Amino acid sequence: MALLEAFATPFDEANPTAGHAALLNERYANRQTLDVLDDVINHEFGGRVALVSSFGADSVVLLHLAAEVAPNVPVIFIDTGKIFGSTLRYRDEIVARLGLTDVRAARPDPATLASHDSDSGLWLREPDKCCAIRKVAPLARALSSFDAWISGRKRYQGGMRAALPFVEADGERIKVNPLAGWSREDLVAYRKLHDLPEHPLVADGFRSIGCMPCTTRVADGEDERDGRWRGQDKTECGIHFGLAAFETDGSGI
Ligand code: SF4
């Protein structure tokens, strides 16, 4: 840390993680994304940070950037059991193409599924509970040994993401959003510049891709996330609402 940075923001002793996030926001304010990822993965949180990826519509950009600085960075993929087959095949293609060597699947606990979703239809009855069992709790377990994680959210996606900070506190863990300021055009340009393959469902009208039952095509003029949980108030799965409650007993149910 540069001496100047240490004096720029008083460290918040009552909330050291928030203070750490504020310091990092200052440090990274005018840095290139690749430079930030290099610092986060190889220095600031060396060996203690994981990248979380859905291998969805835009994921290849962040994965390519991370692979440029550390192909061995742990990548966590939440395999809910409801993922499109084309996403699983796309994941395998991207992993091989980028040379990622540490991709981990975070899966729901079988006993929890048996007791709360035995007919596999919880997504229809209680989608928040389904996300808690199939996404949030598995991610909380997968991140339990890490001090920081990297997400691919962007401000242009709107909703709760419109005010997304570059670095934020997530309980006692730091969360870095290196693409927060990127536009859709930036992502497309980067993907084309590096000749990176597009998720096959994008050409079929899917612009934000999650679980199969909760993802629909997006029409012209709609926001890209309008196809998620269509017809419901729900706009997020919950992994960005804080994982701490799910780390106590690993279920959060
Ligand atoms: S996105 Fe749908 S299917 Fe996937 S975990 Fe959430 S509610 Fe369940």
What pLDDT shows up at residue 245? 64
Substitution site in 80, 209, 234 for ligand 1 pocket (most atoms within 8 Å of beta carbon): 80
| Nearest Cα residue to atom 5 of ligand 1 | 131
pTM recorded for the entire structure: 0.90
Give the pLDDT mean for 107-125.
96
In angstroms, rounded to a whole number, what is the distance separating the alpha carbons of residues 67 and 73?
8
Answer whether 227 contacts ligand 1 (Cβ < 6 A): no
Does residue 80's CB lie within 6 angstroms of at least one atom of ligand 1? yes
pLDDT at 239: 80
130 is catalytic: no
Residue nearest to atom 1 of ligand 1 (CA): 211
User: Of 131, 211, 214, 237, which one is the catalytic site residue?
Assistant: 237
Q: How far is CA 47 from CA 43, 70, 72, 179, in A?
A: 9, 11, 10, 21
pLDDT at 250 over 50: no
* Structure confidence by residue, pLDDT tens digits, 48-74: 999 999 999 999 999 999 999 999 999
Distance, in Å, from the CA atom of 230 to the CA atom of 215, rounded to the nearest integer, reads: 8
